[in-house]
């Protein structure tokens, strides 16, 4: 019996699935195996996999309102091939989002200085939370000498747990945020990029540049719905007594959630409130509701 190469088999299945998809469906390129240099386009649109559903209209409505894998049907006791391959693609995207390095070309294009935390590598970053919450000694010295001091807002961009989120959102979000702050006459320090950073590193940065408020734009932990979701953490004058409820958080920034340009405008408005009320987190929410 002829032995079948698994990579070739998967590629053939992907090609057949792509042929079956609607020509108007939204598609993303998926690179074929090493034996082929031609990209395969795997459709992102949802397809109902349940044969003869009892209430098709209700199922279609539910599928349109959530990225969860519902209505995918089954083949015997297993999920169908198309659903299984989409699951593996999403799983691979999530893994890559955590482990890959961000392209330095993008950082140069955005003009972001690169700082490092005490995490020597991704393994240490994942296993030792504290290592991502403090800048390396070299980065501290750089920020002390070159950081813009005494500004209203300091912007920090960090890969966090998803470089994909930074690459997908920051090119649109950062200019929109900077423009929104400038229109409100809010002074900003030069934005910086922190490699392998966690949210709390913003406290140390704020203490060095002496800003009034700091915002961290950081990649979220990727899931199987998207690997490109980004969060914004803002805090007014953090100190050693800062707790998590002192931070204002806006999450789910990505093309399927809050679009990055819209998010940039909203974050500028929110930072304006933080400066006006001189508060963030739970305290800010309470003051704004009065």
Measured between alpha carbons, how far is 7 from 65 in angstroms, rounded to an integer? 34
Q: Extract the tokens encoding 232.
A: 């914004």
57 known ligand binder: no
In the block, tokens 């070299």 appear at 138
Contacts of 78 (CB under 8 A, 6+ apart): 84
| 30 beta partners | 40
199 known ligand binder: yes
140-160 in b/e burial notation, b at 16+ Cβ within 10 A? bebbeeebbeebbbbbbbbbb
Nearest to 218 by CA among 286, 133, 121, 275: 133
Give the H or E element holding residue 31: strand 27-31
Nearest to 98 by CA among 50, 192, 48, 166: 166
Measured between alpha carbons, how far is 238 from 236 in angstroms, rounded to an integer? 6
Q: Cα 217–220–225 angle (5° rounding)?
A: 135
Nearest to 260 by CA among 162, 158, 174: 174
Residues belonging to the binding site for adenosylcob(III)alamin are 199, 220
> Residues at the annotated binding site?
199, 220
């Amino acid at each position: 019996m002829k032995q079948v190469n698994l990579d070739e088999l998967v590629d053939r299945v992907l090609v057949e699935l792509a042929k079956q998809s609607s020509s108007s469906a939204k598609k993303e390129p998926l690179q074929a195996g090493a034996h082929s240099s031609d990209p395969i386009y795997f459709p992102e649109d949802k397809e109902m996999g349940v044969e003869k559903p009892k209430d098709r209209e209700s199922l279609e409505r539910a599928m349109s309102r959530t990225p969860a894998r519902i209505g995918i049907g089954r083949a015997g006791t297993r999920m169908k091939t198309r659903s299984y391959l989409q699951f593996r693609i999403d799983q691979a995207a999530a893994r890559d989002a955590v482990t890959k390095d961000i392209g330095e070309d993008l950082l140069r294009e955005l003009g972001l200085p690169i700082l490092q935390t005490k995490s020597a590598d991704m393994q240490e970053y994942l296993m030792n939370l504290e290592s991502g919450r403090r800048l390396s000694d070299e980065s501290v010295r750089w920020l002390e000498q070159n950081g813009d001091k005494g500004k209203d807002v300091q912007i920090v961009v960090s890969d966090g747990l998803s470089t994909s989120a930074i690459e997908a959102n920051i090119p649109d979000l950062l200019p929109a945020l900077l423009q929104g702050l400038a229109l409100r006459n809010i002074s900003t320090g030069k934005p910086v990029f922190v490699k392998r950073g966690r949210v709390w590193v913003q406290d140390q940065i704020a203490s060095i540049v002496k800003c009034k408020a700091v915002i961290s734009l950081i990649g979220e932990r990727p899931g199987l719905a998207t690997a490109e979701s980004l969060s914004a953490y803002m805090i007014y004058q953090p100190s050693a007594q800062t707790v998590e409820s002192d931070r204002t958080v806006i999450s789910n920034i990505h093309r399927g959630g809050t679009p990055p340009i819209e998010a940039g405008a909203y974050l500028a408005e929110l930072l304006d409130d933080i400066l006006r009320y001189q508060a963030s987190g739970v305290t800010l929410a309470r003051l704004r509701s009065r």
